[in-house]
Amino acid sequence: MVDLPTAGERARATFATHNGEVEHSGLVLPPSAPKHITIKLDNGYNVSFPNEALVSWEPLEASAAMSTTTPLVATETTSDDLPRVRLIHTGGTIASKVDYATGAVEARFEPNELLDALPELASFARLDAVKIGNMFSDDIRPQHWNLIAAACADAFAEGCRGVVIAHGTDTLHITSAALNFAFAGKGERPAGPVAMVGSQRSSDRGSSDAAENLLAAVQWAANGPLPVGDAGDSVVVVMHDTSSDGVMAVHSGVAVRKMHSSRRDAFQPVNAEPLAKISNSHDGWTIIPLPWYDEARNTAGERPVNTVPTTYETGQRIAQFIAGPWLHAEHIEAVANTGIQGVVIHGTGLGHLPIDDPQNDAPENQNLWRSLVRCMNRELPVVIVNQCIHGPVDMNVYSKGRKQKSMGLLGHGVNSTPETITTKLHWALSQNLNIADIMTKNLCGEHRERLME
C-alpha cells in the first residue's frame, strides 16, 4: 500500500476509480471519514477517496492561492468623491480561514485582508478598517457591544458616512438588537447607516457567501438611506436573501433571527419584512427599499443624532428558561437566589407557563406558580417571550394568560424576537428604567403594529 500524505501538505495524487484513474491536486485535509484521503482543490471544493484507491502521489510546493501567510497589498481609491465607510472587524466566519493542518475553521483574517480580497470595494467607497478582535460570535459579551457601539460613534465623528460591522452569524442578531437600543432606545438615531454582515461559509471556501454579503453591506453603508430610528433601521443585518447568489436582504436589526445553522439565507425576518433588497447584476448593484420601508421613512418622526450611544452594564445577569414539562420551581429558585436582575421565560403558544393543576395530579405546576409569585414579591422582573418565534405574546386570550398578567408577569403584547426582547430587558436594566413600563413600548422599531410572516 502507498504511504499516505500528511494533512497540511500540498499533493498531486492519482486515484483508481471505476472509470479509470483520476488525478487531483490540492491541500490534504484531515480525512472526512475513517480510512479516507480528503483533498481541498484549488477551487475551494473537497474530494475524498478510500485509502486503498490511492495509486501514487507527489508533494507540491505551497500554492499562493491557498497560503494563509501571503501578504496582501491594500487597494487605494483615487476618488475623493466616494463616501467614506469604515469596516469594524470583530471576527466570525466572514473573517475565517481553514487551518489546513487540522481542517478546522479559525477566525483569523485581518481587516485589510477582507478589503484587499475584494478590490471592487474601492469603486463603492473610501474604506478604512478598525479591528476590535478576531472572535467567533458565540464568545461575544455585552462588553463587546459597548466597544462596537463606541467604534461606530468614533467612525461617524471622524467623518464616515456609514459603518460595516463584520461579525459572526451565531449571535449577529443579538448584537444587532443591542446596537439598535444603544443608538435609538432613547428616541435618537445614529448619524448614518450601520450594517452588520457575516457569512455562513468561510471566505476561502468555494461556496462562500462572504464576498457578496460584504459588497452589499458596503453598498448600504455608502449609499443606503439614512436611518430614521423608528423603523428598526438604526442597525441593519445584510445577508443572502435566498440560497442563490445575486440578491441580498437588508433586515431590521431588531426583527431578524438566524433560522438555520448552515443555509446561506439563514437570516429571516420575524413578524416583519426586510427593509430592502440589494441586487447584483450585469448592470451593477441596486438598492431597492420595500414599499413599507419607504412609507415608514416618510412618516417617521424627527430624531436627533446620537453621538454617544448608551452602554450595557456588564454585571447584569439575566436567566432564561423554557416553559414545558421540564420546568420546575427549584430551577427558578436556585437561579433567583444567585442575585440575578431579570428572568426571561420562553412561553408556549401565546406565552403560557405550566402553572395550573386542574386534575390535582401535577403539584409541580402549583409549586412553579408559587415560585413565580415569590419573584414578583422580590420585585424581580419576569418577562415572557414567544417560544413559537413568530406571532405575538397575548395573555388576554386564555384564562391562563390573564392569570399570568394578574401575577405581574411581563411580556403581554410583545411581538419581537426572543433575543431582541431579552436584549431590551438588559438594556432597560442598564439604564435604570421602569421595566414594566418600558417592555411593551416601541422604542426603535422592535414592536410592529402589523405582523408579517
Tell which residue, 219, 222, 270, has the closest CA to residue 247.
219
Location of C-alpha cell 408556549: 348
Residue 267 to residues 143, 153, 171, 252: CA-CA distances in angstroms?
24, 26, 11, 11
Which of 38, 170, 417, 420 is catalytic? The answer is 170
Q: Give residue for cell 426603535.
A: 444
169 is catalytic: yes
Residue listed under C-alpha cell 439604564: 431
The SS3 of residue 418 is helix
Q: Per this entry, what is the length of the chain?
A: 453
Contact 265, 243 (CB under 8 A): yes
Is 75 labeled as catalytic in the residue annotation?
Answer: no
Catalytic residue (one of 258, 417, 422, 424): 258
Out of 38, 93, 171, 422, pick the active-site residue.
Answer: 93
Q: Decide: 165 and 191 in contact? Cβ < 8 Å.
A: no
Question: Is residue 316 exposed (0-12), middle (13-18) or buried (19+ Cβ within 10 Å)?
Answer: middle
Please state the three-class secondary structure of 311-323 as a single string: CCCCCCCEEEEEC
CB 174 within 8 A of CB 182: no
Hey, is 370 helix, strand or coil?
A: helix
56 grid coordinates: 501514487
Q: Which of 38, 90, 169, 420 is catalytic?
A: 169
Q: What is the dihedral of CA 332, 333, 334, 340, to 10 degrees?
A: 80
Q: Residue 178 is placed in which grid cell?
A: 443591542
What φ, ψ does residue 7 adopt, rounded to 5°?
A: -55, 135
Q: Is 35 a catalytic residue?
A: no
Q: Active-site residue 116, yes or no?
A: no
Active site residues: 93, 169-170, 258
